[in-house]
Amino acid sequence: GGIITQTPKFLIGQEGQKLTLKCQQNFNHDTMYWYRQDSGKGLRLIYYSITENDLQKGDLSEGYDASREKKSSFSLTVTSAQKNEMAVFLCASSLQGADTQYFGPGTRLLVL
Amino acid sequence: GEQVEQLPSILRVQEGSSASINCSYEDSASNYFPWYKQEPGENPKLIIDIRSNMERKQIQELIVLLDKKAKRFSLHITDTQPGDSAMYFCAASDTGYQNFYFGKGTSLTVIP
């Protein structure tokens, strides 16, 4: 089995701040995803990557950047945090598209 | 419109009865349909999935049905238990685009 880790677990930022979230997987999966989940709501895709150095925009990419530095890691940057923003950012990976996605534990963001 | 519509958004059932969640999708190329269960404070976990070469799949008390013609799929939990209380998400994916579309989720409460 493998594992997905996300750091940090909790992130408190200031309005306008640039914030970076990291994700690592040791499944040796090709595809990695970043989702945003607002309280009590569904998952919205921000970015995904099908291989190292690849980036594909999801429906919610505005206001975010991402980087797939190597196969095992995928980072997400909130380019300018919005005041009172509160959400959970979930990273996931799958062997390929249309395969089971395994989710990380999430990063909980709060912007003061 | 939404790529994947999920209904109902809230579902309350008595312990021991069945619970049904329905999803519909737009893209006829979709060929993989996973279901995820998310408990409070936890990440989504895959509970069952079905591919387009099947119409029905059962794992213990979980049954998924797929109607490709109608572009609908559903999850049925038989003999519900309080431990089944959680958020449930359906998703649809197409190997060609390596993109997942999630439904908005169903909050299931099983009343003892």
Which residue from A33, A98, A100 is facing B46, i.e. has the nearest CB? A100
Interface test with B, best of A68, A101, A107 (most B CBs within 10 A): A101
* A99 phi and psi angles, rounded to 5 deg: -130, 165
pLDDT, residue B98, reads: 58
Question: How many A-B residue pairs are in contact by the CB < 8 A criterion?
Answer: 62
Per-residue pLDDT tens digits for B41-50? 888 999 999 9
pLDDT, residue B94, reads: 74
Q: What secondary structure letter does DSSP report for A77?
A: E
Say what percent of chain B tops pLDDT 90: 79
For residue A63, what are the contacts with CB-CB under 8 A and spacing of at least 6?
Answer: A78, A79, A80, A82
Say what percent of chain B tops pLDDT 70: 94
CA distance A105 to chain B (A): 5
Contact B34 A101 (CB under 8 A): yes
pLDDT along chain A (112 residues), means of 10: 92 93 95 88 88 91 95 96 89 82 93 88
CA distance B8 to chain A (A): 13
Confidence category of residue B99, pLDDT binned at 50, 70, 90 = low
Closest by alpha carbon to A12, among A87, A67, A76, A66?
A87
Q: Which residues of A touch B87 (CB under 8 A)?
A: 40
B97 vs A: CB within 8 A: yes
By CB atoms closer than 10 A (0-12, 13-18, 19+), residue A29 is buried
Q: Which residues of A touch B11 (CB under 8 A)?
A: none
pLDDT, residue A1, reads: 77
Window 52-111 of A: residues touching B by CB (8 A cutoff) are: 56, 58, 90, 96-106
Per-residue pLDDT tens digits for B29-40? 888 899 999 998
pLDDT beyond 60 at B96: no
pLDDT, residue A98, reads: 65
Window 7-36 of A: residues touching B by CB (8 A cutoff) are: 31, 33, 35
- The rounded distance, in Å, linking the Cα atoms of B39 and B75 is 17
Amino acid at B33: F
B53 vs A: CB within 8 A: no
Handedness of CA A48, A50, A51, A54 (dihedral sign): negative
Per-residue pLDDT tens digits for A9-28? 999 999 999 999 999 999 99
Q: Which residues of A touch B32 (CB under 8 A)?
A: 98-99
